[in-house]
Amino acid sequence: MSADPVIVLVRPQLGENIGKAARAMLNFGLTEMRLVTPRDGWPNPSAGPAASGADIVLEQARVFNSVQDAIADCSFVYASTVRRRDLVMPVVSPEEMADGIHAQPGRTAILFGAERSGLETEDVALANAIVTVPINPEFGSLNLAQAVILLAYEWSRRSDLAVPPAKELEPPAPQGEVEGMIRQLNEELEAKGYFFPAIRAEATRNTIRTIFTKTGWSSREVKAVRGIIRALASPPRPR
């Protein structure tokens, strides 16, 4: 099983953006953030409120003096950038990046650049591949947290993140129970003169049967509907 990727923010500027990136990370199960020479130093008091509870990410964040130091223990590095670089290296999609991370036996890092300038060519050159998010070529304006959340989400789709278990489906009711419900309904409708004119009665009964046999009722649901029919057919209860 591969290790979770490390998120490396290279020369981030605003504490608020670091906090928002931490929030994006924790939403998808990532907790290891590394900061390369943050402009306003670290810790940054503006990061906490922006993280909206992702304190574990900020508390464990580590600061490095260079990209090389930040990725020294990583065997594969992706550089997130929307701009073309004059470098000969693979360019992959977020889906391909996620597949690659899960296939890697060692640590993997994803580099994100500063808010205004992104990653420098020298930073990208330290990576093994560029990962590019397909966005509008006429408006390539992802902010730092948006870029982090897009790639973290794509990674999480292949992870073992805990998700709410799907509600266990109830077994379908035996056919006899469904038939009993339909028969009860028909009897009450007959008593109310619903099947009129008589020439249409059989077609109407068939329509009712189709409605009530194609939904896959459970025994609990059949009992509930039969209770509703009884209530509608009975005299009102005194209040």
pTM over 0.95: no
C-alpha to C-alpha distances, 206 to 40, 93, 172, nearest whole angstrom? 74, 54, 21
- Please state the domain extents for the chain: 6-156, 175-233
Q: What is the pLDDT of residue 154?
A: 93
**Average pLDDT for 188-193:** 88
The residues that bridge with 6 in the sheet, in sequence order, are 109
State pLDDT tens for residues 143-164.
899 999 999 999 998 877 655 5
User: Rounded to the nearest 5 degrees, what angle is found at the Cα of 69, between the Cα atoms of 66 and 71?
Assistant: 110
Q: CB count, 10 Å around CB of 127? A: 25
Sheet with strand 62-64: strands edge to edge: 62-64, 33-36, 6-10, 108-112, 76-80, 129-131, 91-92
Architecture per CATH, 6-156:
3-Layer(aba) Sandwich (3.40)
